Amino acid sequence: MRPGRSLLPPISLRPRASPARHGNPPIQQHHATTTHRLFSQTALRSADFTHAVIGGGVVGLAIARELALRSNHDGASRSSTPSSSSNSSSSTLLLERHAAVGTETSSRNSEVIHAGIYYGASSLKTALCIQGKALLYHYCASHGVPHRRVGKWIVAQTSTQRAALQAVHDFCTREIHVPVRWVGADEAARREPAVRADAGILESPTTGIVDSHALMVSLLGQFEDAGGTLALGSKVEAVAPLGGGDGSAGWELAVRDAATGELSTVTAETIINSAGLGAVDIHNMIVPPDRRKKMFYAKGNYFSYAASSPKVGTLVYPAPEPGHGGLGTHLTIDMGGRIKFGPDVEWVDSPDDLAVNESRLALTAKEVKKYLPDLDETQLQPDYAGIRPKLAKQGAVAHGKGFVDFVIQKEEGYQGWINLLNIESPGLTSCLAIAERVRKLLYT
C-alpha cells in the first residue's frame, strides 16, 4: 500500500498457518518463519506489489511460488514487464481470506495425481494435467513431498462400459500418448482379488497419490523463502482497474482484515484471480454487468472405510460416463493406506454447504459394490466433502454434454489480469503447470 494512497490504515500481515487438513492428521510442519510486514514497506515505487495473487489454495500457492522464484532468478533481466514499472526486481503478494492457506477445495479432494486421460486432446485440462503430472512427480521427489505411483484401474461391468474403456484406451495410445494397458483376468485375480470387473480393466500406471497438505506446506515455504509476502485473514472485497479502467496503471484491491474488520487498500501492477470457489465473485467485481458469470457448485461427498477387508492397493474407478459431473464414485487410498470412497456429485446452492450428506451413503455403497462386492457397508463413515467450482452444470469428461475446460487467460480489455475460472479436477495435479502458464501469460 503506498503512503498517501490508502483509504484506510494499512493491514498488517498475519502470521502464516499451515494448510488445514480435513480427515487426515498433519504429517509435518514447515519451519515457521513468520512474516510481519506492512504493505507500505514494499520497495516498489509505482505499486505496492508487482503481483497480487488472490487465493491461497494449491493453485494460488503454486502461482505465487512461481512468480516469486522468477523475480529472484531473473527479475533484473526481464525483457518484457507487465506494466511500465522501471523496478529491476518484482514482489509477490498472496492474499488468502482464511487464517490458513489451503482450507477450501485444495484440502477436500481425492489427492490423486491424474494421468490426464479423460479430457479432449486439445483441452487445457489434458495439456496441463499431463505436464503437471510430470512436474508434480519431479517436485515431490526432489522436495520430500509424500507421494506414490500406485496406478489406477478403470473397471467395466457391461459391454457399454467396456466400449467406454476402449475409447479411453484409443485416445491415450493414438492421440495423447499417455500409457495405459489392459489387465487380464489372471493378473487381476492375482493383484486385486477383491475387485470385480466383469467386462475388463484398463490400467493407468502413471496415476498416483500425493499428500496435498505436505505439497501446500512445501510450496508455501518456497514462496516465503523467495521473498513472497503472505497475507492471511485478508479477504479481497473489491478490485478496481486503474488507468482509465483497464488496469494499464495497475490495480487497487480493497482487503478486509478478518481479525480487526478493517478495510484497507493495496495496489499491484498485476492481479491473478486464483480464488477457487470465490473466483467468479472476483471476476464479477471487475467486469461490466454483461460479462458477469455465475458459478455452479458440485459437491462431492466422501465416505471413509474402517474395515481391513476387502483390502485393495490400487485406485479403482468405474468407467467414465458422459455428462456425469465427476469421474464416478471411486476408491482412493491416502498416503497412510486409508481407503475412502467418493466423491459423488450433488449440486448445491452454496459454496459453504460442506457437511457430508449422509443420505448419500446408501447410494455410494450401491455404486461401490458394483466393483467391490464384498464391501461391508456398515463400516462406511461420512468423512468430508469438497465442492467443484463449475461454470456450468456440465460433465467432467471430454465427450459429455457441455464439457467446460479450465479458463486461464488474460481478460480482453484489461492489462495485467490473469483470470482462472473452473479450476476443478485435475487442478491439484496441474497446479505447477498452471503456474508456468500464468508466468508465460504475464511475461512472454
Residues contributing to the site for ligand FAD (CB under 6 A)? 54-60, 95-98, 103-106, 109-112, 114, 235-236, 274-278, 282, 300, 343, 386-388, 423-429
Q: What is the closest distance, in whole angstroms, from the C-beta atom of residue 209 to ligand FAD in the complex?
A: 8
- Which residue lies nearer to ligand FAD by CB, 14 or 97? 97
Output the smallest distance, CB 154 to ligand FAD, in A.
Answer: 14
**Choice between 201 and 266, CB closer to ligand FAD:** 266
Alpha-carbon gap, residue 313 to 355, rounded angstroms: 28
Contact between residue 11 and residue 37 where contact means Cβ atoms under 8 Å apart: no
Q: 386 pairs with which residues across the strands?
A: 300
State the nearest-atom distance from the C-beta of 234 to ligand FAD, in Å.
6
Distances (CA, A) of 35 to 32, 48, 79, 243: 9, 16, 30, 31
Assigned C-alpha cell, 206: 502413471
Q: In this structure, which amino acid lies at residue 127?
A: A
Compare residues 110 and 222 and give the one whose CB is closer to ligand FAD: 110
User: 389 near 423, Cβ under 8 Å?
Assistant: yes
Helix (H) or strand (E) holding 249: none
Which one-letter DSSP state was computed for residue 289?
A: G
Closest to ligand FAD by CB, 44 or 428: 428
CA 96 from centroid of its chain's CA atoms: 15
Least CB distance to ligand FAD at residue 103 (A): 6
CB 134, min distance to ligand FAD, A? 14
- Give the integer Cα–Cα distance in Å for 99 and 56: 10
Grid cell digits, residue 409? 487467460
Nearer of residues 200 and 341 to ligand FAD, judged by Cβ = 341
Nearest CB to ligand FAD, comparing residues 241 and 300: 300
180 or 279: CB nearest ligand FAD = 279
Closest CA to 249 of 14, 46, 16: 46
Residue matched to cell numbers 495473487: 53
Give the residue with the Cβ less far from ligand FAD, 4 or 337: 337
Fill in the amino acid letter for 6.
Answer: S
The candidate with the shortest Cα–Cα distance to 219, out of 407, 62, 15, 419, is 62
Nearest to 320, CA basis, from 354, 296, 345, 293: 345
Grouping H, G, I as helix, E, B as strand and the rest as coil, residue 185 is: helix
Query: In sequence order, which ranges of 269-322 are alpha helices (DSSP H)?
Result: 279-286
Check if the beta carbon of residue 157 is closer than 8 Å to that of residue 371.
yes
Minimal distance in Å, beta carbon 434 to ligand FAD? 8
Nearer to ligand FAD, 69 or 428 (CB): 428
Residue 283 to residue 382: CA distance in whole angstroms: 34
430 sits in which H/E element:
helix 427-443
Whole-number Å distance between alpha carbons of 329 and 345: 9
Rounded to 10 degrees, the C-alpha dihedral 82/292/108/221 comes to 20
Q: With respect to ligand FAD, which residue has the nearer C-beta, 10 or 60?
A: 60
Burial label, 4 (beta-carbon count in 10 A; 0-12, 13-18, 19+)? exposed
User: Which residue shows C-alpha cell 477436500?
Assistant: 108
